[in-house]
Every structure is written in C-alpha cells, then in structure tokens.
Amino acid sequence: MAYEPSSVTFQDVDVSRMMERFRLGARGKRRGESNEPFSDSANLDEVEREIIDFAVNERKKSFDQFLQHQRAFAARLHEQDLAGAVVDIKNQAKKVLADFDVRSGQGLDQLNSLRASFEEAKHDLSHFQQEHNRVRAAQSKPMLWMAVSIGVMITIFALESYFNGNLLGQGTIAGVSSGIAYPWGFPLSTSLREYSSG
C-alpha cells in the first residue's frame, strides 16, 4: 500500500511509492514518444484513470476502516459504562466520607472521655498535694531498691513470726509451730467473724 490507514488521522499519499507502483516514469516516457494522449484530448487516458481509481478506492477503504474504528470505540465506551462508573465513584466517596465522619465522631467521644478522666485525675492529684502539703511530683524508686525493701520486710516478718511463735509456744505441746499459728490465726478468725456478722 502507498500509506497506512489510521483512525487518528488520514496519512498523506507517498508519491514516490505511487510512482513505483504505476511505473509512471517508464510509461510516461513510452506514451510521450507515442504522443499519447493527444494534446487536444479532453478525456483521461488509461494511466490517469488508474491513478484516480486507486485513489478513490483507497479513500473508501480508509473511510470504511475509520467507521469500523469508531464503532469499536463506541462499543468499548458502552461496555465501560462511564456514567455508571462515575455514579459508583460518587456513592463510594459519600460512603467513605460518612464512615470517616462516624469514626471521627467516635474518636472525639473517646478523646473527650479520656480528657475528662485526665482532668479528674489531675484534680485528685492537686487535692492530694494540698491536703498533704506535697508540691513535688511523684517519684518512683528503682527496681533494685524495691526488691531490697520487699526482701527486708519479708525477713522482718519471718523473724517476728518466729520470736512470737517461740514466746507463745513455750506453754504448748506442739511448741514453736503452734505458737507461730496463733498470731496468724487470730487476725484471720477476727476477719471471718466480722465478715459473717456484717
């Protein structure tokens, strides 16, 4: 073909390829030597008609191909349903915005609740500091110091239980073991009596 049809634009005719296709140089020289066509001839000669017929046919094929492309593109657009897609996008956008509003409202409610709890804790701290004349912030002790303190308290408790048990168990048959049980059992029985009576 002298050119490639396109749905975008109609390409220009390649004149050099047309000359090769119809052998215009050789045919023109031969017909010129034969004085064809006559200079006073009003009709188109054979070569001119071939060129015109070819151009008309190619124009028709290009136009038909262009119409086919248009129909194909129209079918694709119809399948895509752009209007429906736009509606779906708008609906999804509204849904996302509504969900965002709900979640942001829930977040604000939670934030207000936490803020109220913070203000209450801050008020309690201020009241505690005024009541006990404490102006500094609370300070936590290191873990080693806490472990040592707990160990000392357990040791003191064990020693006190032993000495009390030794003292109370002197007059019993079981000795120290029953003496140790008395100091532990007395607060427990007292607590049980108060619980049952209450």
37-49 per-position pLDDT tens digit: 666 666 777 777 8
List of long-range contacts for 57-65, beta carbons under 8 Å, 24+ apart: 58/1, 58/2, 58/3, 58/5, 61/5, 62/5, 62/10, 65/5, 65/7
Average pLDDT, the chain: 76
pLDDT in tens, 84-143: 777 888 889 999 998 988 888 888 889 888 999 999 988 888 888 888 887 776 677 788
Tell me 172's DSSP state.
S
Half-sphere exposure (CA, 13 Å, Cβ side) for 53?
8
- Parse the chain into domains and list their residue ranges: 15-80, 81-136, 143-197
pLDDT in tens, 179-198: 666 666 655 566 566 656 65
**Type of residue found at 140:** S
Please tell me the predicted confidence (pLDDT) of residue 155.
92
Please tell me the predicted confidence (pLDDT) of residue 191.
59
What is the SS3 assignment for 67? helix
pLDDT in tens, 134-180: 777 667 778 888 888 899 999 988 887 777 767 766 666 666 666 66
Say if CB 169 and CB 177 are below 8 A apart. Answer: yes
> Which of 146, 129, 10, 121 is CA-nearest to residue 65?
10
